[in-house]
């Protein structure tokens, strides 16, 4: 039987869906419920449901980020979102991320049953889910988007050999990847770990590491270092700040370490680079 998880901050809705739907008739069983997005993510990882029925309005989570995280880690999971307000653009984005149905509350029973039928049909006839990464998530009019896309996506080095453990291309993966890179760019001056970024994106560290390696052909620390060094090069060329000050400004606590990393990536020392001006 297909396993179903229901997430809603109104217990009466969770209980109502659990009791009123003829789940056995759809070859389904409700294996759990959750009252918020974070609890829902924990249940997804614990129970590995085939179907998720969830309210989109989460006080502790961005609904679209939750959907992207789930579809990125569990691309074959079927998702039906419930919402109490009309937002066509939001619904469009959710469907692009892989949501099967987007229903308005209060939903009629025939609408809910149609959604369940569609999801179970998809599970039975699952074929090739692959799709090319969606470049239009990046707005080239925005300096931040342009820098990240051109540096880490379009400008990635040659694929490394032995990448058997790849993830499937999807818009959800692209969404999570963009969210991670933007967070890294906004916080690279701080002491940042892969776990910090993964937690921000609602995915596991292991999964985020796979996404970064597949779509940028670089590891987490290499990406952080490149962001720091790109800013260091600007400061070396455009300011008279001391090299130690620049090192600290871009997130290196040890100027000697900064100089070693700079030379290994750029091919010369920070002092030599400044002298090129």
- pLDDT, position 161: 54
Task: Assign 3-class secondary structure to 161-211.
Answer: CCCCCCCCCCHHHHHHHHHHHHHHHHHCCCCCCHHHHHHHHCCCHHHHHHH
For residue range 55-78, list pLDDT tens digits in order.
Answer: 877 666 677 888 899 999 998 899
- pLDDT, position 67: 87
Maximal CA-CA distance, the chain: 75
Cis peptide before 106 (omega within 30 of 0): yes
- pLDDT, position 91: 82
pLDDT in tens, the chain (277 residues): 889 999 988 888 899 999 999 898 888 899 999 988 888 889 999 998 999 999 877 666 677 888 899 999 998 899 999 887 777 788 888 888 889 998 888 888 999 999 999 999 898 876 433 334 445 678 878 899 989 988 998 777 766 555 555 677 778 888 999 999 999 999 999 999 999 999 999 999 999 999 999 899 999 999 999 999 999 999 999 998 999 999 999 999 899 999 999 999 999 999 999 987 6
- pLDDT, position 247: 95
CB distance 129 to 75 below 8 Å: yes
**Domains of the chain (ranges, CATH numbers):** 2-124 (3.40.50.2300), 135-218 (no CATH), 224-275 (1.10.10.60)
- pLDDT, position 60: 63
- pLDDT, position 268: 93
- Alpha-carbon separation of residue 148 from 217, 230, 238, 244 (angstroms): 14, 11, 21, 26
- Rounded Cα distance between 68 and 95, Å, is 11
For residue range 121-167, list pLDDT tens digits in order.
Answer: 898 876 433 334 445 678 878 899 989 988 998 777 766 555 555 67
- pLDDT, position 201: 94
CB distance 273 to 258 below 8 Å: no
pTM, two decimals, is 0.67
């Amino acid at each position: 039987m297909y396993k179903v998880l229901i997430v809603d901050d109104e217990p009466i809705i969770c209980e109502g869906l659990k009791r009123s739907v003829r789940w056995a008739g759809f070859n389904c069983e409700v294996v759990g419920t959750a009252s918020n997005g974070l609890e829902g993510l924990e249940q997804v990882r614990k129970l590995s449901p085939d179907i998720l029925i969830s309210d989109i309005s989460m006080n502790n989570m961005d609904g679209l980020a939750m959907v992207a995280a789930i579809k990125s880690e569990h691309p074959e999971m079927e998702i039906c979102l419930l919402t109490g307000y009309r937002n066509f653009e939001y619904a469009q984005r959710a469907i692009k991320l892989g949501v099967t149905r987007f229903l308005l509350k209060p939903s009629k029973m025939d609408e809910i049953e149609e959604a369940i039928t569609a999801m179970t049909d998809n599970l039975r006839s699952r074929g090739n889910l692959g799709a090319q990464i969606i470049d239009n998530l990046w707005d080239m009019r925005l300096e931040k988007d342009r820098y990240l896309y051109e540096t880490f996506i379009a400008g990635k080095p040659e694929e490394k050999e032995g990448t058997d453990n790849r993830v499937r291309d999807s818009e959800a993966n692209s969404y999570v990847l963009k969210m991670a890179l933007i967070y890294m760019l906004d916080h690279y001056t701080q002491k940042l770990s892969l776990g910090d970024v993964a937690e921000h994106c609602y995915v596991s560290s292991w999964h985020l590491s796979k996404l970064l390696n597949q779509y940028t052909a670089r590891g987490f620390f290499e990406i952080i270092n490149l962001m720091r060094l790109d800013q260091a090069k600007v400061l070396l060329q455009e300011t008279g700040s001391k090299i130690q000050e620049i090192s600290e400004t871009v997130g290196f606590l040890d100027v000697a370490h900064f100089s070693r990393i700079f030379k290994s990536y750029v091919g010369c020392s920070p002092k030599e680079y400044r002298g090129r001006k």
